[in-house]
A and B are shown apart, each in its own frame.
Chain A
Amino acid sequence: MKENRRQVWGLIAPTLFLMIFIGVIPVIYVIYLSAFKYNVFAKVPFRYIGFNNFRKLVFDTDFLKSLRLGLTFVALCCGIELPLGLLIANLLTMNFKGKGIFRTIMTLPLAMAPISIGSIWVLITNPDFGPLPFLFRKIGVEYNMGINANQAFFTTVLVDIWHWTPFVVLTFMAGLTSLPNQPFEAALVDGANRWQTFRYVTIPLLKPVILTTLFIRVMDTFRIFDEVWMLTSGGPGTATRYVSIHLVRLVLQSMEYGYSSAMSLFLLYLTIIICFLLLTFISSSREAA
């Protein structure tokens, strides 16, 4: 038995060691740094200030604005992607030839580097030669993401929809194909029409999958960085400055490591709380089902 325990620790030790080094120590370091005013260019570069960083954070209008913007982005993206994905998934689980090809096509955006997706959309939306501004000009709308804040915001939403709807489709497809047959037969016998079957049989059965997908999408859109960074870098002005972008810009431009750490810590805890709440909600609804 003793031999056994030694073997177990021997197997896990390298993983444990590495995860402590890159997973635990940085978090402790962030907590430590958040209590200091740490700016390499200041007269006193490293000074203990207690909770003052957090006090500053709560009244930082730029940060609060980016938080609000990020949450709007999350709501908009998820609100469009999930219904759209559900429709497409329903379509692709129908019986027709060649649907495998469409599924393969849907996989493509998921495996691509987010940064190259950003660069693709830079090419699409370029005001000089991009097809999107060209189409908009045809209907008499001047489209320039570098100037118009609203257009920039909706372009990032569009890019996110393009990138992640396939994810929603694939998870819903897997969910739909694993549903039991009996309830559908019963609905058919009872004379339910297509819409009634969908509304009162498919949706309730699919609820756990829908909630899990929603959870993953909420977390992913909340922390979005690469695509938006490549596309707009948070601009024009602060129109697309979502939380991750705001934080990175703060670190790169102001070099305020202490204050950035406080903001990081706040975001980390916000993520964990949202994560925990959604997971509890999901598991309780699974038990109810």
Chain B
Amino acid sequence: MSGGKKTWKLFLVYLVCILIAVATLFPIYWMFVISARSRLEVFLGPRLIQTSFYSPNYYRPFVQDVYGRYLANSLLIASGNTLLVVCLAVLATYAFSRFRVPGSNNLFFWTITNRMAPPAVFIVPFFLMFNRLGLRDTQFGLILLYCIFNLPFAIWLLKGMMDGIPKELDEAALIDGCSLWGLLFHVIVPLAKPGIMVTAILNWIFAWNEYLFAAILTSVRSRTITTGLAEFVTVIGTNWGEMAAVSVVCLVPAIVFIGIAQKHIIAGLTFGAVKD
């Protein structure tokens, strides 16, 4: 192959890659641009460059309106759910990994069906159940509910990690007179820490992103930021700048987590589709 042909090929590869990157990033960029524009500027037509920044778009919804509380609710629910799921998953995964538990061979199928079932299917029973139990419009209700997708997923993710910890370590600790709790907290958890962190991050993102259940099961007190975002489009007209600003805030966790743990969360985001 001659040098000139190779340069051409490389140039072509970069060109296509940049085109793909632009196609991926442009919608996100457009959201940022709109969030910096006042009502008047928005309707001046599709100009791509924005030099000024209209801060009331962020100030009004989050400080004057209720979106500050929605944000706090989202943070509370996502963090609470993550804490609950990780605690339960560590215990259950340890049992699945070390003892013969009936049904542990079906773990993968269980996880898959839980993730694949349309969430819309469950809104009727949950709506009626939560009404009866007084869990409707409470943060606690959503914290419990999000376990339905996140818990099997967390157990499935952690199991690979836990299987990698040699069994001899457990035995050594138990012979040294360590209780099961001591073993879990002083040996297993420190060793499985990277896996637990990845599980926690993914779990947090999923809980933060959830919309349908939050929309059906909350009304005023415990609305989340995603449901707040969906409320923006109204009959009397939408404040596009503010909607874009709320979208931006909704997006921040995704960007932060990709920044700190990109490599590790890809396997989780692609659902380990290529695990074996």
Contact of A119 among B92, B113, B232 (CB under 8 A): B232
Contact partner of A114 among B96, B209, B273, CB < 8 A? Answer: B209
Q: List the B side residues contacting A257 at CB < 8 Å.
A: 124, 128
Q: Which of B24, B109, B152, B208 is A106 in contact with, Cβ under 8 Å? A: B24
Contact A102 B20 (CB under 8 A): yes
Nearest B residue to A34 by beta-carbon distance?
B124
Set of chain B residues within 8 Å of A237, measured between Cβ atoms: none
Q: A8-B101, A12-B92, A116-B229 are in contact. Are A96 and B24 (CB under 8 A)?
A: no
Mostly, the B contact residues are: helix
A residues in contact with B177, CB < 8 Å: none
In contact, A230 and B230 (Cβ under 8 angstroms): yes
How far is B28's CA from A106's CA once the two chains are assembled, in angstroms? 12
Q: Are B151's CB and A102's CB within 8 A?
A: no
Distance of A258 Cα from B108 Cα, bound (Å): 32
Inter-chain CB contacts under 8 Å: number: 255
Q: How far is the CA of A265 from the CA of B21 in the complex (A)?
A: 41
Q: Is B274 an interface residue when CB atoms closer than 8 A count as contact?
A: yes
Q: Do residues A115 and B226 form an inter-chain contact, with CB atoms below 8 A?
A: yes
Q: Considering only CB atoms, which chain B residue lies closest to A28 in the complex?
A: B125
B255 at the binding interface (Cβ < 8 Å): yes
Contacting residues, chain A, for B31 (C-beta < 8 A) = 119-120, 123
- Which parts of B16-33 form the interface with A (CB within 8 Å)? 16-17, 20-21, 23-25, 27-28, 30-31
B9-52 CB contact bits vs A (8 Å, 1 = yes)? 01001101100110111011011001000000011111010000
Residues of A near B140 (CB, < 8 A) are: none
In the complex, how many residues of chain A place their beta carbon closer than 8 angstroms to a beta carbon of chain B? 89
Q: CB-nearest residue of chain A relative to B23?
A: A162
* B contact residues around A18 at 8 Å (CB): 88, 144, 147, 151
Given contacts A11-B95, A261-B125, contact A170 B270 (CB under 8 A): yes
Question: Once bound together, how far apart are the Cα atoms of A11 and B184, in whole Å?
Answer: 11
Given A15-B151, A113-B226, A267-B121, is A120 in contact with B258 using a C-beta cutoff of 8 Å?
Answer: no
Which of B's residues lie within 8 Å of A, judged by CB? 10, 13-14, 16-17, 20-21, 23-25, 27-28, 30-31, 34, 42-46, 48, 88-89, 91-92, 94-96, 99, 101, 109, 112-114, 116-129, 144-145, 147-148, 151-152, 155, 180, 205, 208-209, 211-212, 216, 226, 229-230, 232-233, 240, 243-244, 246-247, 250-251, 254-255, 257-258, 262, 265-267, 269-271, 273-274
